[in-house]
């Protein structure tokens, strides 16, 4: 049987992680979740990896948690599966992660896209948190991340009804970074990953950290963190190189140090 998560290397410094369970619309079973956590963990530590694209196939990014795998589970079994720890591992990846979404991003699939840093969606992609329709609620951040992105009233509408929404609406509510033709989703995501891969990695990493940590903190603490992160970068060779190259009107050569 094919590997349920594939690793591809579309360009130098860029890895593409592909969920590969087309027979189940890329539903996130435990094996897929563990592989995602492991790959994002490994790529997060690999100094040659500068940006990651996370994707599925043309029909589905991911149709949510694997319903068949959890339908008969009890509370203790759900606890022991440790899915919350796997979510944390996925969200903890220090490298920029770009979700390339075609087809369905539902339930855990929508939540997975929301743990990414940039979301590129095909124009016919469909998003949603339909958990309520099967007697549960989102468990991977759907009630929280969607609310932070879209505000209480949009989030409530979708979490309480389970209705799906399209890529345009997702873009308008701030859930999606760009909407592109379906056939161009992966290409655009890799293009953005390459843009990021060419930039000084320490600055990229601290920028990601500052945005994410700041979202959780009061403004004064978040601004202090941003200021400290900026100051730290003045110890990096890439800051010197970037600024000198600008002044000398040449292309910078970043070393990652």
Instruction: Give residues in contact with ligand CAA (CB under 6 A).
Output: 24-25, 27, 63-68, 104, 106-108, 130-131, 134, 136, 138-140
* Closest CA relative to residue 93, chosen from 54, 18, 43: 43
65 counts as catalytic: yes
Instruction: Return the number of the residue (87 or 254) whose C-beta is nearest ligand CAA.
Output: 87
The total number of residues shown for the chain amounts to 257
CA distance readout (Å), 93 to 97, 111, 191, 233, 246: 8, 15, 20, 20, 31
Beta bridge partners of 178: 120
The pair of structure tokens assigned to 69 is: 């795998």
Residue 182 beta carbon to ligand CAA: minimum distance, rounded to whole angstroms: 15
From the list 65, 113, 189, 210, the catalytic residue is 65
108 as an active site residue: the answer is: yes
The residue (of 6 and 67) whose beta carbon lies closer to ligand CAA is: 67
Q: Which residues share a beta bridge with 6?
A: 18
What is the nearest approach in angstroms of ligand CAA to the Cβ of residue 106? 4
Residue 108 or 201: which CB sits closer to ligand CAA? 108
Q: Which of 94, 92, 95 is nearest to 197 (CA)?
A: 95
Q: How far is the CB of 5 from ligand CAA (least distance, A)?
A: 16
Least gap, CB of 96 to ligand CAA (angstroms): 24
Strand order in the sheet with 60-62: 60-62, 104-106, 126-128, 165-166
Residue in 56, 91, 113, 131 annotated catalytic: 131
Q: Which is nearer to ligand CAA, 115 or 229 (CB)?
A: 115
Report, in Å, the least distance between residue 69 CB and ligand CAA: 7
Q: Which is nearer to ligand CAA, 68 or 240 (CB)?
A: 68
Among candidate residues 64, 107, 108, 122, the one labeled active-site is 108
Residue least distant from ligand CAA (Cβ)? 107
Per-residue tokens: 243: 């600024």
Asked if 146 contacts 114 with a C-beta cutoff of 8 angstroms, the reply is yes
Q: Which CA distances in Å does 138 have to 10, 154, 221?
A: 33, 15, 29
Q: What CA–CA distance (Å, rounded) separates 138 from 54?
A: 21
**Residues that are catalytic:** 65, 108, 111, 131
């Amino acid at each position: 049987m094919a590997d349920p998560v594939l690793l591809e290397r579309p360009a130098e410094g860029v890895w593409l992680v592909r969920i590969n369970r087309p027979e189940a619309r890329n539903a996130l079973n435990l094996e897929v979740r563990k592989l995602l956590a492991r790959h994002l963990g490994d790529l997060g530590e690999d100094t040659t990896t500068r940006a990651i694209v996370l994707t599925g196939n043309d029909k589905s990014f991911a149709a949510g948690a694997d319903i068949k795998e959890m339908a008969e589970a009890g509370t203790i079994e759900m606890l022991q599966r440790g899915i919350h720890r796997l979510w944390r591992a996925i969200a903890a990846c220090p490298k920029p992660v770009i979700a390339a979404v075609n087809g369905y991003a539902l339930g855990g699939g929508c939540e997975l896209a929301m743990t990414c840093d940039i979301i590129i969606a095909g124009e016919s992609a469909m998003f949603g948190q339909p958990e309520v329709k099967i007697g549960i609620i989102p468990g991977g951040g759907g009630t929280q991340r969607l609310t932070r992105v879209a505000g209480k009233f949009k989030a409530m509408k979708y979490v309480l009804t389970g209705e799906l929404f399209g890529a345009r609406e997702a873009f308008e509510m701030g859930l999606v970074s760009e909407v592109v033709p379906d056939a161009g989703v992966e290409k655009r995501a890799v293009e953005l990953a390459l843009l990021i891969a060419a930039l000084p990695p320490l600055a990229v990493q601290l920028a990601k950290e500052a945005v994410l940590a700041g979202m959780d903190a009061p403004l004064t603490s978040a601004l202090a963190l941003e200021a400290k992160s900026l100051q730290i970068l003045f110890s990096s060779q890439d800051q010197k190189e970037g600024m000198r190259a600008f002044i000398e009107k040449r292309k910078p050569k970043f070393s990652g140090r």
